[in-house]
Amino acid sequence: MYSVLYDGSFEGFLSAVFDVFYYKFPEPAIEREDLFKGNIYNKVHYVKTIEKHHQRVWAGLQKRLSKDGLQQFYKTFLSELPAIENTLLQYVQYAFSTEINMETDFSNGAVLTVFQTAKKVHREKHRMEAFVRFQETADGLFFSIVEPDFNVLPLIKDHFKDRYADQQWLIWDAKRRYGIYYNKNEVSVVEMNFSDKAQKGKDIHLIYDEKELLYQQLWQQYFKSVNIAARKNTKLHLQHMPMRYWKYLPEKKGGL
């Protein structure tokens, strides 16, 4: 058995898949290097992320999967679920072993898992697009903090680039401690070090513009005024806006 360790990136994962095929590892287990806890029974192989290797795997998948299939594959990787790399490896092995389209062969466990997981990630993507709330900092940057269940920042960047093309903004994933920054020209991935007062990027109210607090108060008052108590449907409300998203929504600071 082999523990095949990669750097956590999608390109690194594809490079790991290349190594599995190239070296023909018996019973490989692909794992992120930073999450690897060691296994005295497994031999360890460290993957080098090499462009020609990951491009070769991706090109092979493009020949065997539809556009939707490729998206499902990528979204499943972004789920970061435990051992999802090995499910995706099984998916790749199946795709490369047949000449027919296998994307809807739900009798295969890997195919079914990829299909179901991709749907969950896609739902989370749409929720983030709906629930992101920007708040202006003193230097004119529009900042938003999120903690999505899945790593969906790569999936939402084009939406916000198109929607807020005239603003500088930063969406920070406090759970994964990285963000996407738009400078009115292009979107780039950023990492930052926050002070202890900022709680690792979860609380940056100290750098907000003074008028931002006023806007938040006005927004909260508006939100309360348009809600009709007699028509309140808490169950439906929680279905569309689960409580785990509330902590970064200005209109929910007062609760239901």
Q: Which residue has the tokens 């938003």?
A: 144
Q: Rounded to an integer, what is the distance from CA 30 to the centroid of its chain?
A: 19
Q: Using CA atoms, how far apart are residues 156 and 256, in angstroms rounded to an integer? A: 27
Q: 4 forms bridges with which residues in the sheet?
A: 30, 45
Question: Domain check: are 138 and 80 in the same one?
Answer: no
Domain boundary among 70, 99, 124: 124
pLDDT tens string for the chain (256 positions)? 899 999 999 999 999 999 999 999 999 999 999 999 988 888 999 999 999 999 999 999 999 999 999 999 999 999 999 999 999 999 999 999 999 999 999 999 999 999 999 999 999 999 999 889 888 887 788 888 899 999 999 999 999 999 999 999 999 998 999 999 999 999 999 987 765 554 454 555 554 545 445 444 544 443 455 454 555 544 543 455 566 665 665 555 544 4
Q: Which residue has the tokens 């027919």?
A: 100
Question: Domain check: are 120 and 79 in the same one?
Answer: yes
DSSP for 26-59, written as a single string: SSEEEEEGGG----TTSEEEEPP--HHHHHHHHH
Domain boundary among 90, 124, 158: 124
Q: Of 164, 66, 72, 59, whose CA–CA distance to 112 is shortest?
A: 72
Question: Domain check: are 110 and 65 in the same one?
Answer: yes
Q: Is the pTM of this model over 0.85?
A: no
DSSP designation for 122: H
Question: Domain check: are 154 and 119 in the same one?
Answer: no
**Structure confidence at residue 218 (pLDDT):** 42
Domain boundary among 100, 124, 148: 124
Question: Domain check: are 138 and 222 in the same one?
Answer: yes
* Burial letters 115-140, b for 16+ CB under 10 A, else e: bebbeebbebbebbeebbbbbbbeee
Question: Domain check: are 141 and 68 in the same one?
Answer: no
- What's the domain range around 150? 132-252
Question: Domain check: are 99 and 144 in the same one?
Answer: no
Question: Domain check: are 71 and 137 in the same one?
Answer: no
Question: Domain check: are 139 and 244 in the same one?
Answer: yes
Question: Domain check: are 40 and 100 in the same one?
Answer: yes
Distances (CA, A) of 100 to 57, 96, 213, 231: 18, 10, 58, 52
Number of domains in the chain: 2
Question: Domain check: are 27 and 141 in the same one?
Answer: no
Question: Domain check: are 160 and 236 in the same one?
Answer: yes
SS3 label, residue 221: helix
- Can you state the angle between helices 109-131 and 153-163, rounded to 10 degrees? 40
SS3 label, residue 189: strand
Q: Are strands 142-146 and 135-136 parallel, antiparallel or unpaired?
A: antiparallel
